[in-house]
Amino acid sequence: MKRLYVCGSFRFLRELKRLERRLKKEKVDYQISKKMDSRGMQSCLKRIDDADVIYVVNPEGTVGKSVCVDIGYARAKNKPMYVMYPVDDPPVMDLISGVLSPEALIGILKEGCPATV
């Protein structure tokens, strides 16, 4: 199974926690952004390095400045990156591999389809 890193703006903390419960239940190998991480952005970049796939929780298509850094870094590292909803900024959306619901993402990760992820 592929290792997943989940990021998103902390204003969507409820959605991040909901997805984390689902990932635990499905026994997906994941790391997730944590609000209280003392290393901040450096910790996020390390998690991107360690992951096979990046997933952005972005209700309403919104991503903040820190998540944009995550997206750019993941793209530079050639990591497949998916979002929950299309990003409302077309140049940023061009850096994304695709849009996947949490259910579709979990299905792909558990099946281990290398052609898709």
Please name which of 7, 1, 97, 104 lies closest in space to residue 48, comparing C-alpha atoms.
Answer: 7
Instruction: Summarize pLDDT for 46-103 with one digit per residue, the tens.
Output: 999 999 999 999 998 989 898 999 999 999 999 999 999 999 999 999 999 999 999 9
For domain 4-111, give the CATH number.
3.40.50.450
**Predicted structure pTM score:** 0.89
Instruction: Summarize pLDDT for 100-116 with one digit per residue, the tens.
Output: 999 999 998 887 654 44
Residue 69, Cβ density class (10 Å: 0-12 exposed, 13-18 middle, ≥19 buried): middle
Please name which of 103, 87, 85, 84 lies closest in space to residue 95, comparing C-alpha atoms.
Answer: 87
Joined together, the tokens standing for residue 85 give: 């909803």
Domain boundaries of the chain, sorted by first residue: 4-111
As a whole number, mean pLDDT of residues 10-36 equals 90
The DSSP call for residue 99 is: E
